[in-house]
């Protein structure tokens, strides 16, 4: 009888064990199915369905690092950053040796603008894995965005050593070195970025700045022309080439380039503003009436538009002043002064026009604003003397 009881108990325990094992296997299969369903939904960019699947997986296994990681990353993709942080923190706590949750925590904090916190997570990642160029770049970028340029240089150097063709790392390294005044090293880094990715406009723009600072005008111009060729639909690229020619005293080349831009982009106001600027500066420099008429011809239609910028109106007002039409100049410059962003110089020209017309209060007020915006320490003594003279000419009550 006892033997029978023992056998019965043993069989019962075996059956319970079989049932529990079967249930565990079934639960594991369902868990894996839900993870796979979530992955498939993500592949179709169906993030809501993916969250439902991963949430179902977590209902089966609350302590699954993988399910928390998957759902947290999906919340990140959807821009639900607070929910993403919750899941990713749980994933990191469940497996502190796993680098991926830590990297994603850095990504979410960076997306929230919390770059110092992001850099802490990326730094923690490098303790677990210091051979990831991607995370080293992210660490450097977080440092850069918090103004810690010096700290960004070392991880960027490590990133490009691990992946010599990492374009963005070469670019950011060049920008950091430029900010530190190490222009030659910056040139090498930015040049390498352009060699790897010739269409990388930001790197070419960085090179233009460095070449300009170094007085290497031909090299700067080559980069400007390359940008214009790479982005033919952007009128501002050709405008930049033309203005660079003008800045370096090559007026004929500037006019030729901007004339070509006007033919290619006839409906772009910035082209005519640039062309008018070059003609006007030539007229002012040489007292050239033909150049002045060309400037007015280029600027007048754009200045007459309701959408005219303060820059265009300022240039047209200057042209009217040079042409001797002080009344039109004052009217135009007053309009320019009311359209932000305003260059302080507009108030100086407005003072010129108003004074010619005998509008002393307007001239005085304009000159006062010019001095206030430009900064008294940066204003020449003659302007301050002129302001004092206008003050004395004001009518007394």
pLDDT one digit per residue (tens) for the chain, 397 residues: 556 554 454 555 555 554 445 545 687 899 999 999 999 999 999 999 999 999 999 999 999 999 999 999 999 999 999 999 999 999 999 999 999 999 999 999 999 999 999 999 999 999 999 999 999 999 999 999 999 999 999 999 999 999 999 999 999 999 999 999 999 999 999 999 999 999 999 999 999 999 999 999 999 999 999 999 999 999 999 999 999 999 989 999 999 999 999 999 999 999 999 999 999 999 999 999 999 999 999 999 999 999 999 999 999 999 999 999 999 999 999 999 999 999 999 999 999 999 999 999 999 999 999 999 988 788 888 988 988 999 888 877 5
Q: Which CATH superfamily is domain 29-129 in?
A: Tetratricopeptide repeat domain (1.25.40.10)
169-175 long-range contacts (CB < 8 A, ≥24 apart) are: 169/133, 169/136, 169/137, 169/140, 170/196, 170/203, 171/200, 171/202, 171/203, 171/206, 172/137, 172/140, 172/141, 172/144, 173/140, 174/203, 174/206, 175/144, 175/206
pTM of the entire predicted model? 0.80
How far, in Å, CA of 362 to CA of 356, rounded?
11
Q: Quick check: 344 and 317 in contact, CB under 8 A?
A: no
Q: Quick check: 353 and 329 in contact, CB under 8 A?
A: yes
Q: 69 is written with which tokens? A: 């990681």
**Cβ–Cβ contacts within 10 Å for residue 119, how many?**
26
Q: Report the b/e string of 360-374 with b at 16+ CB within 10 A.
A: bebbbbbbebbbeeb
**Backbone φ and ψ of 374, nearest 5°:** -80, -25
- Give Cβ neighbours of residue 224 (< 8 Å, ≥ 6 apart): 208, 237, 240, 241, 244
């Amino acid at each position: 009888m006892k033997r029978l009881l023992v056998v019965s108990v043993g069989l019962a325990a075996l059956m319970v064990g079989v049932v529990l094992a079967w249930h565990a296997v079934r639960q594991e299969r369902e868990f894996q199915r839900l993870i796979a369903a979530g992955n498939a939904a993500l592949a179709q960019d169906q993030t809501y369905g993916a969250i439902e699947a991963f949430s179902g997986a977590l209902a089966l296994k609350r302590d699954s690092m993988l399910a928390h990681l998957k759902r947290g990353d999906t919340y990140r993709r959807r821009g639900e950053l607070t929910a993403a942080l919750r899941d990713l923190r749980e994933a990191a706590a469940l497996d502190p040796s796993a680098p991926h949750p830590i990297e994603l925590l850095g990504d979410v904090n960076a997306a929230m603008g919390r770059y110092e916190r992001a850099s802490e997570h990326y730094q923690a990642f490098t303790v677990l894995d210091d051979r990831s160029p991607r995370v080293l770049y992210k660490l450097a970028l977080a440092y850069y965005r918090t103004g810690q340029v010096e700290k960004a240089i070392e991880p960027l150097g490590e990133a490009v050593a691990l992946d010599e063709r990492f374009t963005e790392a070469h670019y950011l390294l060049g920008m950091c070195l430029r900010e530190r005044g190490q222009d030659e090293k910056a040139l090498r880094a930015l040049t390498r970025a352009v060699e790897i990715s010739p269409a990388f406009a930001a790197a070419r723009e960085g090179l233009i700045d460095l070449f300009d600072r170094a007085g290497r005008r031909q090299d700067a111009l080559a980069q400007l022309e390359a940008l214009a060729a790479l982005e033919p639909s952007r009128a501002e690229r050709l405008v930049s080439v033309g203005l660079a020619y003008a800045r370096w005293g090559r007026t004929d080349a500037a006019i030729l380039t901007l004339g070509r831009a006007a033919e290619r982009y006839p409906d772009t106001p910035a082209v005519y503003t640039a062309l008018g600027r070059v003609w006007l500066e030539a007229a002012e420099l040489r007292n050239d009436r033909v150049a002045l008429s060309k400037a007015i011809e280029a600027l007048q239609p754009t200045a007459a538009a309701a959408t005219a910028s303060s820059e265009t109106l300022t240039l047209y007002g200057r042209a009217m002043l040079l042409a001797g039409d002080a009344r039109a100049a004052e009217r135009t410059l007053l309009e320019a002064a009311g359209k932000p962003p305003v260059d302080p110089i507009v108030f100086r020209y407005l003072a010129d026009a108003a004074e010619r017309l005998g509008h002393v209060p307007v001239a005085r007020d304009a000159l006062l604003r010019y001095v206030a915006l430009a900064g008294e320490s940066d204003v020449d003594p003659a302007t301050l003397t002129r302001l004092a003279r206008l003050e004395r000419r004001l009518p007394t009550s």
